[in-house]
Amino acid sequence: MNITPAEAQAKKENAQNTFLRQPHKWVPCSPKIGVAIIAYGGKNYFDVQDDFELLTNVVDNVLEKIPVDIICGNSISINPDREKIMDGHVQTTLHSDGITLEHRQVMHMTGDDYPALIADPDGFVENVLLPRKLPFIFEEGLEKAAKRFEALLMSSYNQKFHAPAKLLPYVMEKYAPLNMGGGAGRCSTPGDVIMDAYRGFKGTMTDLRRHYSEMKELADVIWEKNMVDHMTGYTYKDFHFPSYMTHIPCFLNPKQYDDLCFKYFKQQIENMYAGGGKLYMLSEGNWKNVIHFMNDLPQDSVIFNCEDDDICEAYDTIGAKQIIMGGCKIVTTRLDTAEACKDMTKRAIDHCAPGNAFIYATDKAWCCKGDCNDNLIEAFAFAGEYGKY
Amino acid sequence: MEYTFRDIMNYMKNDKEWDAPEEVRKQVDGLVMTAFRL
């Protein structure tokens, strides 16, 4: 049964007041709609890819039992055809369980490549890094290579005709959450780009010691060339915000974070904030070295989803300045008792809710078999009751 | 083989046998980064 208009309105106001740090009636809960929900229903991605009724059955089986106040889009979006089309030369693959996405990081830039990349970023990517990454496309013949990329683009396009693409409108109509995702702009930092696109984890950790001045120079080039206007000129209405999945910050000391990330990040946030936006930030890893930087950003400009940080310590450090999200550790739901999960939930709500800007959520996405489980459902249901002000 | 990635993109842009919607054809312009980030 769909939610009533009055219930939908109450949910919307409650969520909006949380983002505005105004008094509200209950702590909003934010489930992360991901493929683990499909696994919880005993199915895999291939079972539901073209079966919308089956997909909604497994999703309803979870969402009907928990509060669905705020979501950030729909993370059930996989393109398993890409791997076949590219003969396995992709970094993200779908495990044979049909659920788990696996990341294989194979980088093609070396520490000696900085000067060439800095001098001509586009040319170096196209003419040097791309042939290193996909050598076979320059050996198989022009027509075959072109047909391969035509198939690749079409496979992405065809995703919108599969059942998961229709899930978000269904969830919005049935449960009426506030979907904070989908806001304009692309937020990232040069430091994250260096790690994700060019040097990988191992290379980046080495370069922080051996190529630091070149990293800083490259960060400036990436910023000026590709990022300076990414969050500029937008206005944000209806509480749709851009997202940022952070990767490198948890590995940096404060000076490195400032040099490679924050000085650029701050400009992006101030530009976005001028248009009325906030940033949803999945703060990967432990931010204890750099979390205090969030206090230098505009009031409530960031929705800080804690991953490995202790939620109460994060709240004590930045909770007066930014919106805090988290409190439910997936590993606890997987490995501990239902009672322990309730205690974890209670502790987070008791400590963080009094600031009027706390959203109950998991630390990580629901992306592996077992991430969605009975304890998780019980913890969310408990948060819905216990979190009433 | 002696061709560049730019040649592959040009082939796709001029491929009349490729039955793709306009919104997909437009993505050929960004194909370098799409391929690099695969």
Q: Which helix (H) or strand (E) holds A92?
A: strand A92-94
Least confident of A17-26, A167-176, A205-214, A226-235: A226-235
| Phi, psi for B6 (deg, rounded to 5) | -60, -35
Burial category of A121 from C-beta neighbours within 10 Å (exposed 0-12, middle 13-18, buried 19 and up) = middle
Nearest to A296 by CA among A326, A327, A325, A261: A261
Residues with Cβ within 8 Å of A80's Cβ and at least 6 positions away in sequence, in order, are A45, A46, A94
Cα–Cα dist A343/A118, whole Å: 51
pLDDT band (50, 70, 90) for residue A157:
very high
Category of A73 on φ-ψ map: left (φ > 0), alpha (ψ -120 to 50) or beta: left
Task: Give the per-residue pLDDT at B1.
Answer: 61
- High-pLDDT (> 90) share of chain A, %: 85
| Phi, psi for A245 (deg, rounded to 5) | -95, 105
Nearest to B33 by CA among A144, A225, A298: A225
Question: What integer best gives the mean pLDDT of chain A?
Answer: 94
pLDDT band (50, 70, 90) for residue A319:
very high
Nearest CA in chain A to B32: A126
- From chain B, the residues in CB contact with A158 under 8 A are none
Q: pLDDT at residue A298 above 90?
A: yes
Select from A127, A134, A146 the Cβ nearest to the Cβ of B35.
A134
Q: pLDDT at residue A140 above 70?
A: yes
Rounded to 5°, angle at Cα A376 from A167 and A39: 50
Task: Give the per-residue pLDDT at A94.
Answer: 87
Average pLDDT over residues A2-6: 88
Task: Give the per-residue pLDDT at A2.
Answer: 78
Q: pLDDT at residue A242 above 90?
A: yes
Task: Give the per-residue pLDDT at A26.
Answer: 96
Q: pLDDT at residue A57 above 90?
A: yes
Q: Is the pTM of this model over 0.90?
A: yes
Q: pLDDT at residue A362 above 80?
A: yes
Task: Give the per-residue pLDDT at A102.
Answer: 87
Least confident of A167-176, A230-239, A307-316, B10-19: A230-239
pLDDT band (50, 70, 90) for residue A51:
very high
Roughly what angle, to the nearest 10 degrees, separates helices A212-222 and A200-210? 120
Task: Say if the Cβ atoms of B33 and A157 lie within 8 Å.
Answer: no
pLDDT in tens, A252-278: 999 999 999 999 999 999 999 999 999
pLDDT band (50, 70, 90) for residue A1:
low
Task: Give the per-residue pLDDT at A86.
Answer: 92
Give residues 76 to 115 of A whose Cβ lies within 8 Å of B.
82, 86, 89-91
Question: Number of A:B CB contacts under 8 A?
Answer: 71
Q: How long, in residues, is chain B?
A: 38
Task: Give the per-residue pLDDT at B7.
Answer: 95
Q: Give which of A87, A117, A126, A194 to mutate to test B binding, by max B Cβ within 10 Å.
A: A126
Q: pLDDT at residue A185 above 80?
A: yes
Nearest CA in chain A to B7: A142
Q: pLDDT at residue A359 above 70?
A: yes
State both tokens at A278.
């906030």
This model of the complex carries an ipTM of 0.96
